Structure 1
Amino acid sequence: MLRLLLGGSFDPIHWGHLKPLLQAFELLQADQMVLLPSAQPPHRNGLGASAEQRFTMAQLAAAALAPAPCCADDWELKQQRPSYTAITLAQLAERWPHDTLVFVLGDDAFAKLDSWYNWQQLLHHAHLLVLQRPQAKVPWSPALQNLVQQRGAQSLLQLRQQTHGLIGFIASTDVAISATEIRAAISTQQPWQHLLPKTVANYIEQQQLYR
């Protein structure tokens, strides 16, 4: 099974996460999408919603992508540690030893990859799939340029033929939405419901989040 993994704080999860992920799923002809809410992202200090609330929103978002197979997984939320991707991928590879794991990230996150914890080990357990936005040219460090030269896939088919170790790139639809924008719109009573699945919006209103 080929699983696409998308991690993040998802505070809240929105179409800017989901539409590019669905596009990657279709292009790669993957078998499943997995949403991985992070417990405490190392690069972020505070979260507006609790772990339970963020996981519930991820579950609702996954269901909204039906009939495409998508699920939310609380693996990182159960770990008593910061949400380091290198550790998570190693653990998930042990959990799913017969599957190919593809970790999905945006081009802005990829440009900072060499600042991540044990970033050199990411490809030991999974592929990386970078979503490149139109007209966006995020500079890479020499270390990342060297990594892409060594591990860049020539086609998405290679990500299906090997179990791990490659970096793929796709041109992604630019969905200009951020969780910060949504939280600000909610707190200032501006329109925001259209920026995420209806079920997630209803849950935010029910829980009175981000007020």
Structure 2
Amino acid sequence: MGVSRCIALLGGSFDPVHNGHVALANYFVTLLAPDELRILPAGNPWQKPPLKASAAQRIDMLRLAFERLAVPVVIDEQEIHREGVTYTIDTLKALRAETGPQASIAFLIGADQLLHLRTWKQWQKLFDYAHVCAASRPGFDMAALPPEVAREFGRRGASAEQIRTTPHGLGFIAGKLAIDISATQIRGALQHEHSVGTLIPGGVLDYIQQHHLYKS
């Protein structure tokens, strides 16, 4: 029985969304040719300090950042509306229940998140609901991965074609994403009125300035 469709899923705080997020999405859209890119803004990320922009503002910025992507983009608000702390495993379970067993779900992360993956709730069970696809920044050292994470990706390693044509359970680490941007760095630059023009999509920067975000 074949896969019904392929959904690429990109989660994050997006506070603010930046060109690194767009590059990560574009990379996997090109690689996997998914039927849909699902963007998942975090509600109350348990491993990070409180968010600066409101949920509505982050969603507005996401729409502006991803409006020209080559595949349909859906902004999934389930984590924003969920009460209490959000865990990726709960979100993937909900998405799997929604899409059914035959959809391929590719959960996209930056490789720096792999360093912390073993601290995520039930991280090994993520593979029961999705594939986990990471793209590394320049200079990222695979040898720095925690041994259990490296082992998991070692035994689950797959090609883009296999990820597209099976529902879940595989891992993929790409080493070619030459973008090194962090939202923390951008918020700091905006606060001190430094230029961030090359780091953020133009429409998002206009929005930030119009709404006086990240000033204090």
- TM-score above 0.5: yes
Distance 1:3 1:195, change over 3 A: same
Corresponding residue SS for 1:195: coil
- Over the matched positions of the two proteins, sequence identity in percent amounts to 34
1:157 is aligned to 2:186: no
Please give the per-residue CA displacement for 1:47-100, whole angstroms capped at 9, x wherever unaligned.
Answer: 11111111211122121x334322322121111132211110011111111421
**Which residue identity is paired with 1:68?**
V
Contact 1:11–1:47 (8 Å) recurs in 2: yes
Corresponding residue for residue 143 of structure 1: 148
Asked if the contact 2:6–2:164 (Cα under 8 Å) also holds between the matched residues in 1, the reply is yes
Cα distance in 2 for partners of 1:148, 1:66 equals: 29
Q: Tell me, yes or no, if structure 1 residue 89 matches structure 2 residue 92.
A: yes
SS at match of 2:198: helix
Partner of 1:28: 32
CA RMSD for the aligned pairs?
Answer: 1.5
Residue 207 of structure 1 aligns with which residue? 211
**Residues of 1 paired with 2:201 and 2:195: CA distance?**
14
Q: Indicate which of 43, 68, 78 corresponds to 1:75.
A: 78
User: Structure 2 regions of 5+ residues with no counterpart?
Assistant: none
State the 1:141 CA deviation: 2.0
Structure 2 counterpart of 1:145, which letter? Answer: A
Residues 92-144 of structure 1 deviation map (CA, whole Å, 9 limit, x = unaligned): 11111142110001111012111101112101110010102343104122221
In 2, Cα distance between equivalents of 1:66 and 1:25: 9
Q: CA offsets per residue over residues 21-42 of structure 1, 9 Å max, x none?
A: 1011101122221111100111
* TM-score, normalised via structure 2 length: 0.91
Runs of 4+ in 1 over 4 A off after TM superposition: none
Kept in 2, the 8 Å contact 1:23–1:172? The answer is no
Conserved 8 A contact 1:126-1:163? yes
Q: Report if aligned partners of 2:26, 2:69 keep a CA contact under 8 Å in 1.
A: no
Corresponding position of 2:183: 179
Q: Verify the 8 A CA contact 1:24 1:170 in the aligned structure 2.
A: no
The alignment covers a number of residue pairs equal to 209
Match of 2:56 in 1: 52
